[in-house]
Amino acid sequence: QMATRLDAARRKLFQARAKRVWPGLDDKVLTAWNGLMLAAFAEAGRVLRRADYTEIATANALFLRQTMRAADGRLWRTWKAGHDARYNGYLEDYAYLADGLLALYQTTFDETWFTWAQELAQRMLDHFTDEAGGFFDTSDDHEALLHRPKDVQDNATPSANGMAAQVLLRLSLYTGNGRYWDIAQQATAAMHEAMSRYPTGFAHWLCAAAFIVSEPQETAVSGTPDAPDTQALLATIWAAYRPNLVVAAGLNGENVPLLAQRSPLAGKATAYVCRRFVCQQPVTDAVALQAQLDGTL
């Protein structure tokens, strides 16, 4: 009886509330926030071996490429169902999405996502660079403002500058492009005092700094990504938490320089563990790969 009375009361309350003006619904889609989600699902799919998470990440990337990418390759900021995407993308749109695409590449090894991430990084350099170091939040062709903003601190979302630095650092290891590394390293060094005094407000800059000083590794796995021998090597790589490691896998390396001129040995998937493109002896078994990754060989 009590449940029946409560149900009737709820209906009366709903009828009374329905007479009021409904609150606004924020149902827009932001490129930047989807980039954050993309990175989370891509990494979770890889680490937890959840194919459904990887499928969500891939579907998200496909949607963003179809909907939020302008004809000239620039990004739109926002989209809403029933409306075209609009407004020039901000730095965070480029940085967050590029980060998510690199995470998706390391999960699927589909070179489409690597190529797009590199394209977005170049757009950042072309349109957001501050000659004094780092990046502005708005592009060079954004509407004129009294002050061109440049936010370097983490808030509810990561610092777009800190995220951009991390993207460039990883791309440098994938491509051998020292300019990416130098730009990111100089921007990170400029944040030294802020990181030292207020570390909780500059966590993504600290991640960039940790990446730089850790002597990060690149690992190229030459083999068909879905083949069992390739998967065995990749499982060894991902068995431990290695935040300062970039991984490429595939056969031709046409679009990923880290894979170029690195071939399977004796028809077996082969791993090349490198630092700044200087590589150790290639290996084909998981035990030897583990030793190289752990620095015991």
pLDDT tens digits, residue range 68-97? 999 999 999 999 998 999 999 999 999 999
User: What are the structural domains, with CATH classification, of the chain?
Assistant: 28-213 (1.50.10.10), 215-297 (3.40.30.10)
* Mean of the per-residue pLDDT values of the chain: 95
Strand 76-79 and strand 278-279: the pairing is: unpaired
Buried b (16+ CB within 10 A) or exposed e, 150-164: bbbbbeeebbbbbbb
**pLDDT tens digit string along 271-283?**
999 988 789 999 9
Residue with tokens 């149902």: 27
Dist. CA 280–CA 275, nearest whole Å: 9
Region at 87 (left for phi over 0; alpha for psi -120 to 50; beta for the rest): left
Per residue in 138-151, pLDDT (tens digit) is 999 998 888 899 99
- pLDDT for 12-60, tens place per residue? 999 999 999 988 888 999 999 999 999 999 999 999 999 999 999 999 9
Query: Once rounded to an integer, what is the mean pLDDT over residues 55-66?
Result: 98
Return the percent helix, strand and coil in the chain, to nearest 5: 55, 10, 35
User: Are the CB atoms for 273 and 219 separated by under 8 Å?
Assistant: yes
Distance of alpha carbon 211 from alpha carbon 142, whole angstroms: 32
Q: How far apart are CA 293 and CA 88, in angstroms?
A: 42
